[in-house]
A and B are shown apart, each in its own frame.
Chain A
Amino acid sequence: REKRLTLPPSEITLL
């Protein structure tokens, strides 16, 4: 069974 992802993906920041 597929694991449910509860945390959101992150944004990406260019530094």
Chain B
Amino acid sequence: SPVPAPTATLVRVLKNSNTLGIAIEGGANTRQPLPRIVTIQKGGSAHNCGQLRVGQIILEVNGISLKGQEHKDAARIIAEAFKTKEKDHIDFLVFEPG
């Protein structure tokens, strides 16, 4: 039977808590080349949004591709997206690997 291709989903996280509340692993030049969500903390904005899951891979943050970004740079892009007052939300493009 055909294997469905993983589909990317756009998830909008409202900044309705003091913390984003995710832990990520991975980045360019590691075994996990794109950041993967490994923890979602209760009470954080990510948890409140209800659409992010452990195991999802983050492809883009506010339209910025994380492909080729090393771990620290990917983490910085996400942290800055949460910190900026220009937007009350962060858009994550994620997919769930098969």
Instruction: Pick the residue among A5, A7, A9, A13 that contacts B23 (CB under 8 A).
Output: A13
Spell out B's residues near A (CB within 8 Å).
Answer: 20-27, 29-32, 38-39, 41, 71-72, 75, 78-79, 82
Q: Are A12 and B25 in contact (CB under 8 A)?
A: yes
Q: Are A10 and B82 in contact (CB under 8 A)?
A: no
Instruction: Pick the residue among A5, A13, A14 that contacts B71 (CB under 8 A).
Output: A13
Does A2 lie at the interface of the complex (its beta carbon under 8 Å from any beta carbon of B)?
no
What total of chain A residues lie within 8 Å of the partner, measured CB to CB? 10
Contacts of B32 in A (CB 8 A): 9-10
CB contact under 8 A between A15 and B75, given known A10-B25, A10-B26 = yes
Q: Are B79 and A10 in contact (CB under 8 A)?
A: no
Closest 4 CB pairs of A and B: A10-B30, A13-B75, A14-B23, A10-B26
List 4 additional A-B contacts (Cβ < 8 Å) besides A11-B71, A14-B23, A15-B82. Answer: A13-B23, A14-B41, A15-B20, A15-B78
